[in-house]
Structure 1
Amino acid sequence: MVTRKKTVVVNASDSPPPAWKVKKQAMEEQEKADRAVAKAARRVEKVRLRAEQEKAAKQAEKQKAVQPTFINIMPLADAVAVIQHCWPALVVNGAPQLLPIHAREMMAADIRARGLDISMKKLKRCLSAITRSEIYLQSMVAEAWRLSLAGEPVAQVSASEAEYAVKRIAQERGRNQCRQAYEEKQAAAALAGNPVV
């Protein structure tokens, strides 16, 4: 009969831990520290990206606000041709005559009464092109006659209307110059391969 003696080793409180345990604890602490550093770096990167996105959005909004908008006006020749076709008395030698007050309402009623083939949108565009044109505004001098749809004198241009026409000419010239300068800038940027936004 063989017996075996079991020996139990108890670590004393003042004895150092084994090397493998020390190494394992050091690795765990290093991993924890690395995770904390990585988390802090991700947080900083997230804040930086958000700040860049906000800055880009503000810049885009600012550029959008600065970008001019221009109204697409029908060519004067086309507008005059339409008006001459429907109301020949309002065009003399290719030049539009002064329209009566509330001309659009009168023309709309005449279109419905006569069944003319012209939409309200097209009529509005024609009148806008004519009344913005320099030739029309230059004819708005004091005591000049406005004509009815049949070509009969109905009212004279007042002094205040003549002053308004002079101011409107200056406004339209300035607007046209701005548009021309903007289009030239866009064309130059397109040629350089950097279109204007």
Structure 2
Amino acid sequence: MDITNPIRLAVIVASNREGRFGPVVADWFAGRTAERDDFTTRVVDLADVDLPTALSHSPGPAVRAELAKVSPVLAEADAFVVITPEYNHSFPAALKSLIDWHFTEWQAKPVGFVSYGGISGGLRAVEQLRQVFAEMHAVTVRDTVSFHLAHGQFDEDGAPKDPTGPDTAAKTMLDQLGWWARALKDAKSTRPYAG
């Protein structure tokens, strides 16, 4: 664990629906990263960003203003964690827009996932995101954190009722993410990524 040069982690809260459960999961996860000296964390909440689904090579002023909220955070990040629900066996449209409006920001960087939902715990969304991020030249880490029937997993204070499993899963995923982030950062310092 290198605390002298912490990994810059961008945590993306993917849901922007009214009444969403994402902030509960994001707050819990932020607590896990705050316990570690090898990461510095910035949160990108897609409820605060309004990117259109139609892409343009010359976006107008409104789109440029929205991109200015997120693009610098993504560009500066060494690694990402996506906190996503599962909508209709997939991931939210706001997340797809964020991914599609960027390219070099994702390249040769690792991505981890924290998912939540019904019986599948958001894992179908994660499996689709692995394919999307592969196309963006990002590396997804194997282990994830998943909350099945998520609303019943947390108490009224927003903490997992049984934190042992989620805390262990978060540690494993963050350890893998840190390893990949350092390996890729070191490789890019020696040789530019051939994207």
TM-score by length of structure 1 reads 0.25
Compare relative contact order (CA 8 Å, sep 6+) and give the higher one, 1 or 2: 2
Q: Which has the higher strand share?
A: 2
TM-score, structure 2 length as denominator? 0.25
Bigger helix share: 1
* Bigger Rg, structure 1 or 2: 1
